[in-house]
Amino acid sequence: MSDGGDGTVGKALSVLDLVAAQERPIRFAELHRMSALPKATLYRLAQTLVSQNMLVQDPETGAYSLGVRLVRLAHAAWRQASLAPVARPFLDQLSAETGLTVFLAQMDYGYVLYLDRRNARDAAATFSDAGKVGPAYCTALGKAMLAYLPEDELEQALGQQSYYRFTPTTLGSAAVLRQALERTRARGYAREREEHEPGAIAVAMPVRAADGRVLGAVSISGTTVQTDIRRLEGLVPRLRQTVDRVSREASHWEFPVEGETEREGRAV
Amino acid sequence: MSDGGDGTVGKALSVLDLVAAQERPIRFAELHRMSALPKATLYRLAQTLVSQNMLVQDPETGAYSLGVRLVRLAHAAWRQASLAPVARPFLDQLSAETGLTVFLAQMDYGYVLYLDRRNARDAAATFSDAGKVGPAYCTALGKAMLAYLPEDELEQALGQQSYYRFTPTTLGSAAVLRQALERTRARGYAREREEHEPGAIAVAMPVRAADGRVLGAVSISGTTVQTDIRRLEGLVPRLRQTVDRVSREASHWEFPVEGETEREGRAV
DNA sequence: AATGCAGTTTCATATAATGGAACTGCGTTG
DNA sequence: CAACGCAGTTCCATTATATGAAACTGCATT
């Protein structure tokens, strides 16, 4: 939407977003149709992004898709995101012990951004899940984080929810959600009972910094076929232990040491 | 290094790269020292990137690190990179059958960019590997791709290698590498015998489009402790089958259907 | 030959980036 | 405690750069 603001750079990034939102390579004309930017401007921006390897252009059709430079940058982003690499071993353990699927996520503009997933059963790639976004108002992860957000951020986040009723149990408004968050705080963990997808249930707890700031959340999830909410709630103490450990490691980690940065390869 | 070219956008992206190269959050002054850009310019660019969520600034120290918007973009990039999602099931299968580690990669500016990894044993996260880069001249994946590059691209890539001698068996120059690539083509697959890391061996084959263009490569790798090069070479027919299938699927896939792009959530 | 559409280039104009320098606030030092 | 040094921030005249309407090219369709 709009032009991204922040001058040329913002516009360029809005073009990236537009291409990212696409399922398949997108031709210039189509891009132009959705972009609000004038043709020549858009054209030059796209060219610039291609020359910067942020976009790639199909040699045949000229259609644009996202470039590999992004994958590289994201690897670095993930590595730097303190939470994900730190949480890794703990998620492994939790998933192995419970035999259920474990997610790590953080808030991103009112959405739940998945950082990692661990599944005891299959060795499925987590990459395809990291970077995904989902709604906050109807997931255990989202509610776990919302419940401990400071009032101003919560206010903002509540306004960004769609409150679309995915299922009969979906919370349908900010007011109802607020009450649910109240109960979440009282209970100490968040529950999700088929509010987003039929058959999907989960419990989640926030990972908080020493100062109380919400860094992210961890969930244990399953289907009504393989488990039930009672059993998940029984795992809450174990979940609590996990988020505590992640939290401790994360704060511990913040500034590893102001030493030289060791590098194996040469930067390109 | 330098300023990235391409005006403001290029400069902004060069700032991103600089932050990405860092192991930990980087302060403004340090950034300024490595950046060649004048202070005020760099400052405004960094602010813009922060306001665009490409960078995040630690509220305490003001230090910059990469923002989550990148993780989101990269997820889309990976999804769009035709090769990675298409190859997924085949890699799963290959890894499960052989019990060894399987990699998928593509060339990126003379480097090998890892797109996916599958390990039969542990359910380790692949995300932390996707986006990694490694040298081309001393890995099976690299040589498999180099061997089938058109002359002009090969020339360029050869010039970008460091030829650092990681081990006694590392190929130490472009001339030697050229001969090795000759043999790779004759043989039909690439080998790596402790040229990059002691104890690490692999075989690899390129994934090529119908027109012969190199899309990427798949490798089967192991350590000299768990296997040996003879056994890996015995798996080459199976590897060939895999790359053929990936290649077929990939070309098949290029343009799924010019339909409307279904979207579950609203773009932010 | 004529029309339509995608992609590309042009160029006068206006806007936005530039960067040297000055300023602020803070911690250190003589 | 005054003076200094350093990180981070703002100012503002200057200039370079992005802008975008319009014209153009090439190609496919009729």
Domain containing residue A59: CATH number:
1.10.10.10
Q: Which residues of B touch A93 (CB under 8 A)?
A: none
Give the pLDDT score at B249.
Answer: 85
Is residue A25 located within the same domain as residue A119? no
Rounded percentage of chain B residues whose pLDDT exceeds 90:
54
CATH number for the domain that contains residue A218: 3.30.450.40
**Is the same domain home to B144 and B14?**
no
Q: What is the pLDDT of residue B88?
A: 86
Please provide residue B214's backbone torsions phi and psi, each rounded to the nearest 5 degrees: -80, 115
Count the residues in chain B: 268
Question: What is the predicted pLDDT for the residue at B258?
Answer: 30
Which phi-psi region, left, alpha or beta, contains residue B158 (left: φ > 0; alpha: ψ -120 to 50)?
alpha
* Residues in chain B closer than 8 A to A73 (CB atoms): 16-17, 20, 66, 70, 74, 131
Q: Based on the fold, state whether residues A39 and A168 are members of the same structural domain.
A: no
φ and ψ of A200, to 5 deg: -100, 125
| Spatial distance between the Cα atoms of A71 and A154, rounded to a whole number of angstroms | 31
Question: Mutation test of the interface with chain B: which of A19, A73, A268, choosing the one with the most B Cβ atoms within 10 A?
Answer: A73
Q: Which helix (H) or strand (E) holds B190?
A: strand B190-193
Give A23's Cβ-side CA count (13 Å radius): 11
User: Would you say residue B264 lies in a domain?
Assistant: no
Q: Are residues A152 and A38 in the same domain?
A: no
CB-neighbour burial class of residue B257 (10 A; exposed 0-12, middle 13-18, buried 19+): exposed
Say if A266 falls within a structural domain.
no
The one-character DSSP state at A116 is E
Give which of B129, B107, B125, B123 is closest to B213, Cα–Cα: B107
Q: Is the pLDDT of residue A149 over 60?
A: yes
Q: Which of A53, A71, A89 is the last residue of a domain?
A: A71
Burial (CB count within 10 angstroms: exposed 0-12, middle 13-18, buried 19+), residue B186:
exposed
Domain-embedded: residue B263: no
Contact, A37 vs A45, CB < 8 A? yes
How many angstroms separate the CA of residue A183 from the nearest CA in chain B?
27
Question: 3-class DSSP state for residue B173?
Answer: coil
Residue whose entry in the numeric block shows the structure tokens 């972009």 = A35
CA of residue A58 relative to chain centroid, distance? 29
* Residue closest to B106 by CA, chosen among A59, A79, A68, A24: A68
**Same-domain pairing of A123 and A245:** yes
* pLDDT tens, position by position, B84-124: 888 888 998 999 899 899 999 999 878 899 988 887 665 44
Confidence of residue A58 (pLDDT cuts 50, 70, 90): confident
Same domain, A166 and A227: yes
Residue B32 and residue B89 share a domain: no
Q: Which of B17, B36, B71 is the last residue of a domain?
A: B71
Which position has the higher pLDDT, A121 or A99?
A99
Same domain, A223 and A136: yes
Rounded to whole angstroms, the Cα distance separating B77 from B65 reads 21
Q: Which of A9, A22, A88 sits opposite B261 (nearest CB)?
A: A22
Residue A21: other Cβ atoms inside 10 A: 14
CA A188/CA B234 separation, integer angstroms: 56
Closest to B143 measured CA to CA, from B134, B81, B243: B134
Residue B153 lies in a domain: yes
- Number of residue pairs across A and B with CB atoms under 8 Å? 246
Mean pLDDT calculated for residue range A121-140: 73
What pLDDT does residue B159 have?
Answer: 92
A34 domain-assigned: yes
Q: What is the mean pLDDT of residues A128-156?
A: 90
The verdict on A120 and A210 lying in the same domain is yes
Task: State the average pLDDT over residues A42-51.
Answer: 92
- Please report, rounded to whole angstroms, the spatial distance between the CA atom of protein residue A10 and the C1' atom of nucleotide D23: 29
Q: Does residue B195 sit in the same domain as residue B115?
A: yes
> How high does pLDDT run on average in chain B?
85
Choose one of B43, B71, B99: the last residue of a domain: B71
Among A3-12, A96-105, B252-261, the range with the most confident prediction by mean pLDDT is A96-105
SS3 of residue A194 by DSSP: coil
Mean pLDDT in residue range A31-46 = 90
Judge whether A191 lies within some domain: yes
The conformational region for residue B246 under phi > 0 = left, psi -120 to 50 = alpha, else beta, is alpha
- Cβ of B39 less than 7 A from strand C: yes
Are A20 and B72 within 8 A, CB to CB?
Answer: yes
What is the DSSP pairing of strand B200-208 with strand B214-223?
antiparallel
- Are A67 and B75 an interchain contact pair (Cβ–Cβ within 8 Å)? no
pLDDT of residue B181: 96
Average pLDDT estimate for B13-22 = 91
Within a 13 Å sphere around the CA of B149, how many CA atoms are in the beta-carbon half? 25
Nearest CB partner across the interface for A108, out of B68, B132, B261: B68
Total number of domains in chain B: 2
Contacts of A229 (CB under 8 A, 6+ apart): A191, A193, A201, A203
B117 close to B102: Cβ distance less than 8 angstroms: yes
Q: Which of B14, B75, B126, B252 to mutate to test the interface with A (most CBs of A within 10 A)?
A: B75
What confidence tier does A2 reach under pLDDT thresholds 50, 70, 90? low
Q: B115 vs A71: CB contact, 8 Å cut-off? A: yes
> Is A4 exposed, middle or buried, given 0-12, 13-18 or 19+ CB atoms closer than 10 A?
buried
Instruction: Determine how β-strand B200-208 pairs with β-strand B64-66.
Output: unpaired
**Checking DSSP bridges between strand B101-108 and strand B214-223, what pairing results, if any?**
antiparallel
Separation CA B190–CA B143 (nearest Å): 6
**Is residue B261 included in any domain, yes or no?**
no
Same domain, B31 and B64: yes
Of A52, A68, A130, the CB nearest to B9: A52
pLDDT band at B23 (very low <50, low <70, confident <90, very high): confident
Same domain, B67 and B86: no
Residue of B nearest to A24 (CA): B80
Which pair of tokens denotes residue A53? 């390897």
Q: Give the count of alpha carbons within 13 A of A126, CB side only.
A: 29
Distances in Å between the Cα of B7 and the Cα atoms of A4, A8, A112, B66, B152 are 18, 9, 34, 21, 28
Tell me what the mean pLDDT of segment B190-197 comes to: 94
User: CA A239 to CA A149: how far, in whole Å?
Assistant: 20
Q: Please check whether residue A205 is in contact with residue A243, taking contact to mean a CB–CB distance below 8 angstroms.
A: yes
State which residues form the domain around A153.
Answer: 81-253
Instruction: Compute the radius of gyration of chain B from its Cα atoms.
Output: 21
Query: Where are the extended beta strands (E) located within B3-146?
Result: 55-57, 64-66, 101-108, 111-119, 133-135
- Strand, coil or helix: what is B137? coil
pLDDT at A125 over 70: no
